[in-house]
Structure 1
């Protein structure tokens, strides 16, 4: 079944009409994944979807059985009837519905060669892709979750909390452990509790690797519990929805300059949480939290947070207002609304002292904010 509500679908097709677009092409294949396919049609992957201005949908999937079971569309075409040619199937659907003259909108991730093929097939058609087009409309739609989506995200968050609570006893029982030991253990425990897998590669970083935003490789065979600042950044898939948390780890007694990093991170986190409520502006919250870090003379070279949902990085995004004139052309402030679900993840990156990041998943409620995961600083003697 599709996830998008009837109201949001109507808004999406009305936007198509306002741009003069007769149809929107959404594609998801191995080389260009796009969760909008599942969001709009219910079909999870590997298909072309044509969403027409009148709200009707035609799906051209790789897996017919899956489409019959999961897609909520008007027409499902079998590429076996078109010599297994997606181009032929898409062209047939377009011609049958619209003839040879129409305006087709594509999303930014669409393959250039797919567009060229369709332009060859329909020389009288017009093709558009705009920064303020369907992609922006889908971002708006996916920025707020339905009660059913939030219920799934809460379930995943509870399992994620269970995994967080396993960290202390495992590390204390296995002193001298490697980064990869903790990663493997927690990933297996996610599976044991019903997770579909990790939502991204688990990052484990000891004191020598924690001073990067994202570690390469994500985990290593280096000893984890060396004195200093370490962290683990992890998440899981639960019924198709992602969680994402970062747990700061402290080994031993920190010198004042490292303790200052932890304290600034916690203050920035608390500041952000205190400001989240309906009507608040995302960029102002990001600016306030990052300013806390900067006023401590420290560096936070990334955004405050991002939405979670069908993707680990779903809309909305909590970033400072851009200063680049070209970026400002299409920038619009994000006003927080009930039903938005996103991460809050302030932190400090320091090349010699190490890094610290505290990340939880939160839901904007009717009156404020609810933290649905409960990551926290874990200190070991």
Structure 2
């Protein structure tokens, strides 16, 4: 606050801030040192500036994605029946720390029927044979974040589990294929949604197809149904279609995708198959 006060001086400055991040407590501390003058909300302007990433930012996002891929492979190889969702989340966070990074957001692990709730925090529920297991996490590197979701099943999957996973994977692939400059965000969402509707899972796809990612885990652009926002080179977003069936479970597959001049680049590259993990407790 002292440095900010010194920079503002004693005049009547016009200060632009992101009001969603400047807390009342911080504003009061600043006001005790200097008259901040006119406060202008720059949130919308700054969000617009952050929609397109610079080459340096893209490099940081790509590195965060590579770290995330390493964590994915490491933890899926250690997943076993008997571990609780909280224990698996701790394994993910530990692996992220060992890679020299930080979690991009609170890690999500959902098993069995819990996986039908897209944003449910990890619980003490222990993973059991027959469960679908959803891992949603990411590594942050120098402030830039990755975000991925991968699926596992404890023991051999049932035909229905394979069917839903295959439908979600196809929706994911169609949406990624639609990502390119000049296409609307709504068209990308529509590409994923059409696949799940044909599979009879349209009503089970209960969120948008994706969101922007960068300094925040959730920022623009948002891949909402019908969105007219036109994608441009340098934009980075998640593609994460899902299908959620109450009391049965859910499937989501998520990758980070950068819009390029001639298409797109998928930053997260860990295998997207339904990983079969041992049903025996160890």
Interval of TM-score (by shorter of Structure 1 and Structure 2) = 0.7 to 0.9
Q: Is 2:75–2:91's contact at 8 Å kept on the other side of the alignment?
A: no
TM-superposed CA distance for 1:242, in Å, is 1.3
TM-superposed CA distance for 1:225, in Å, is 4.2
CA distance in 1, matches of 2:52, 2:33: 34
1:362 paired to 2:257 = yes
SS of 2:150's partner is strand
| Bigger relative CO (Cα 8 Å, ≥ 6 apart) | 2
SS of 1:223's partner is coil
Q: Is 1:342–1:361's contact at 8 Å kept on the other side of the alignment?
A: yes
TM-superposed CA distance for 1:25, in Å, is 3.0
- 1:258-277 aligned at under 5 Å gives the runs 258-277=161-180
Aligned to 1:320, which of 212, 225, 238? Answer: 225
CA distance in 2, matches of 1:281, 1:153: 22
Aligned to 1:349, which of 240, 244, 251? Answer: 244
CA distance in 2, matches of 1:191, 1:368: 33
TM-superposed CA distance for 1:292, in Å, is 1.3
CA distance in 1, matches of 2:239, 2:136: 13
1:241 paired to 2:144 = yes
CA distance in 2, matches of 1:23, 1:286: 40
**Alignment-derived partner of residue 17 in structure 2:** 26
1:170 paired to 2:75 = no
Deviations 1:190-231 (A, max 9, x none): 111110x2121111111121011111xx11222224313221
Name the TM-score, length of structure 1 as normaliser. Answer: 0.64
**Alignment-derived partner of residue 276 in structure 2:** 379
CA distance in 1, matches of 2:67, 2:233: 23
Deviations 1:224-272 (A, max 9, x none): 2431322111112210111111111122333333322111101100100
Task: Give the number of equivalent residue pairs.
Answer: 261
CA distance in 2, matches of 1:193, 1:257: 36
Name the TM-score, length of structure 2 as normaliser. Answer: 0.85
SS of 1:306's partner is strand
Deviations 1:113-155 (A, max 9, x none): xxxxxxxxxxxxxxxxxxxxx4332222111111111111111
Unaligned runs of 5+ in 2: 1-12
Q: Is 1:207–1:226's contact at 8 Å kept on the other side of the alignment?
A: no
TM-superposed CA distance for 1:371, in Å, is 0.8
- 1:29-178 aligned at under 5 Å gives the runs 32-33=20-21, 85-89=29-33, 91=35, 93-94=36-37, 104=38, 106-107=40-41, 134-171=42-79, 174-178=80-84
Choose 1 or 2 for highest CA Rg: 1
SS of 2:49's partner is helix
TM-superposed CA distance for 1:359, in Å, is 0.5
Q: Is 2:147–2:217's contact at 8 Å kept on the other side of the alignment?
A: yes
**Alignment-derived partner of residue 62 in structure 1:** none
